[in-house]
A and B are shown apart, each in its own frame.
Chain A
């Protein structure tokens, strides 16, 4: 018996919900061979603005959670990714045109990377923070704190899931909230990751996923006064010099584009890049 195909129209992931684009636009996701796969929402600048509002309101809770708790929540995402292996592999094979083995390897690496970053949540402060030497009867301590709302242009080439995870996970570790513009031509992994996040313990608004054109949204995110940092890792093909200039207008921290298969490779530096160092002094006991 033949069945009618059920073509899907995916939505955005903003504030823990799945809204359509405010603009009502969608665009077609094509398989590597050029066949129709599904429709994705084409986010507009207003969706980006709404995502920033959601990220800002989620910041207090996420940054205020204990580091141990954040680590557990992030680890739980890796567990859920593991449970959806088959779906991710299938989507990667379809959109990227790679072999199932290569897709499987990519999913493995993405999950491993997520676990690796989750482990850093209650450890990076010990490495990036410091007790400063002083010549007086008090302590002087520097601790990293989350920067705030981080906008990310996800890598637009290479593995669609691995690139996204490599960019999003390190920003979450320190307690930042994220607005990420997914891979434009291969957004299926991002959409599925949104579904994973929605059923995980990550509070709504901590990760917001926009599908659509980075060229359209990046300038609005870069110049947005309520975005504290922007990761241009996947913005290599855009006019990223001007994005940096726009970002500087409102003192937004910027990470530069990276190209090639090693883009956003795992490192402590990517975690620390989205932190601000707070230095405080404290009295010693009067003994």
Chain B
């Protein structure tokens, strides 16, 4: 670590933001800081992403990548029609993705709506990681997901509920309306408040993932600013999308977020996670993301505490690819579970 990084590392989140912004996190200070970030060369970014997506990953590297992808998945069900039964079967799948192959790794977490968290925790039983490295975590979407259109009190109650239910990770949405109309201070304060609401009775914190919903932010510059804002406010993860609107995660957007995370580490020495979510359905796509992570922030980021895929149908495709590599012939949807 450099001396300036050491100085940063000694500060807590609030003090660090204060030091970087040169004052309180007001609209004016945040705007000056966020608009002072260099703009993105959109053509260059897309070209870089396309280039990273063209790598050929075969045989043993592919096998490694597939297992890695499974261990990085937040297996998700976020439907209005979710039932306790569906969550239990999702948990079953998270624990044993491929019943035909005990060597198949478990996914990182299951991601459900807040009211279903206790069901997921109960279904996981002793396999519940509860923030540790072994087992499966429970993530909950909160803060009036997916629109985020509710009063702060309602959002905080939503978060508190999920944390009390046993959620290890909270996926919050930012107020895109406030962000787009330049009320950065409001967005910042909300993230800080939600982070505080993630505090458990024993003083520990649930992991906070901040959903930027990049599909609604319109430009790469906005994505970069929102990423900085979320990290300044203390988000543990920045997540691309809710998965409820198109476009969801794209490779260029994820690349630009990874660059912010890389710059943040250079600046402060701290590591922030990234979670692309929505629209990643095939192993081929997922491998592109793995390559992008390794090339942008380094292989050390390919761990569940720093990188996740938010996905539901991706797992089946990865399993079919995995079966193809083991058996030598193409597999089919009859050999994975319907979900």
Contacts and interface: CB of A to CB of B under 8 A. Distances in A.
B329 interface: yes
A226 B329 contact: no
Interface in A40-56: 49, 52, 56
A287 B202 CA distance: 71
Contacts of A246: 329
Contacts of B328: 223
Nearest to A149: B332
B333 interface: yes
B334 interface: yes
B331 interface: yes
B323 to A, nearest CB: 8
A117 B307 CA distance: 55
B335 interface: yes
Consensus secondary structure, chain A interface: helix
Nearest to B329: A223
Residue among B329, B330, B332 facing the most chain A CB atoms (10 A cut-off): B330
A39 to B, nearest CB: 25
A21 B333 CA distance: 24
A224 interface: yes
Contacts of A116: none
Contacts of B331: 225-226
A249 B335 CA distance: 13
B329 A49 contact: no
Nearest to A220: B330
A279 interface: no
A249 B330 contact: no
A226 B336 CA distance: 12
Nearest to B335: A225
A178 to B, nearest CB: 16
A283 to B, nearest CB: 30
A220 B333 CA distance: 16
A267 interface: no
Interface string A241-256: 0000010011000000
Interface string B299-324: 00000000000000000000000010
The 8 closest A-B pairs by CB, nearest first: A226-B332, A223-B329, A225-B332, A224-B330, A225-B331, A49-B330, A225-B335, A225-B330
18 contacts: A52-B330, A220-B329, A223-B328, A223-B329, A223-B330, A224-B329, A225-B323, A225-B329, A225-B330, A225-B335, A226-B330, A226-B332, A226-B333, A226-B334, A246-B329, A249-B329, A250-B329, A250-B332
Interface of A: 49, 52, 56, 220, 223-227, 246, 249-250
